[in-house]
Amino acid sequence: MNDNIKKRIRLSNILALLAMMLLLGTYTLKPVFQYRDPVAMDEEDEIEENTSFQPFAFLIPEGTESHAPPLASLKLLMGERIWEYHPTGFYAYLIGYKTMPIWKVSLEAPQYPKVAFPDGIPVFFNLTDWSGKVNEMNTINHYIGMHPMEVGAITLRQIIPFVYLIFFVMLIAYLFYKGPGWQMLGIVPAFLPWFYLAFYSKWLYWFGHNLQPWGAFKIKPFMPTVFGNGKVAQFTTHSYPAVGFYFLIGVFILLILSVLIRRKALKDAASAN
């Protein structure tokens, strides 16, 4: 293997390592990009009451407070207990409590004047939970019969730490393995942003088409806006990528470039032999 081919393989590995750093960032950098109310200048609104982080029960310390879901329909979706769990320290990073915001949805309405709500009612879709004004958004959703945000993709959010572990093992193997099927070790993790968009769209559809009779305002089932601006009743919605999604796009670009560069280098090496 000549020096030129070695340099290209080295470049491929560097790109993969950069992708791994971005991927790790999406799992750990929530404190850097955490939402702060521009009026109150505090951190996430009512974080103590936000129970959207619901890891598997075996990850939660004994003695953690919990309560039963208030409705039978929620029990079917969320299980027997809702844990009031906000981990701290290194363990919070380990089990996925610090994942970055991937998508942002904000809502504007006449009853939320810009002076008091310059960002409207923003919520952020992280990989393992929701953040921002979750309780306010749930109150609004309740009026149209929509389930609380906490029920959305709960199993998917619970498995994220294990998905990330698998992806990191795949990428470490990608750095060294050059046998049959090596490309898949880089390609599968690369497509994480598109996996996310697919599941995000699926769950928006589920929320909009599973309206409950408790809503004070009766509206027809609808598809919430995935990307861009939309309108539901008197509410204007804005749905756009948050910083974490751009990190994932960076992962995609870096890994695809890495795979293409390595494939050409290995092909040239095989031809030379």
Alpha helices in the chain (DSSP H): 3-28, 30-33, 72-78, 89-94, 134-143, 154-176, 182-190, 192-208, 243-272
Each residue's pLDDT, cut to its tens digit, for the chain (273 residues) gives: 688 999 999 999 999 999 999 999 999 999 998 888 777 655 544 555 688 999 999 999 999 999 998 877 788 888 889 999 999 999 999 999 999 999 999 999 888 888 888 889 999 999 999 999 998 899 888 888 899 999 999 999 999 999 999 999 999 999 999 999 999 999 999 999 999 999 999 999 999 999 988 878 888 899 999 999 998 878 899 999 999 999 999 999 999 999 999 999 999 888 887
pTM > 0.85:
yes
Sign of CA dihedral 174, 31, 253, 124: positive
Q: Which two tokens stand for residue 55?
A: 């890891």
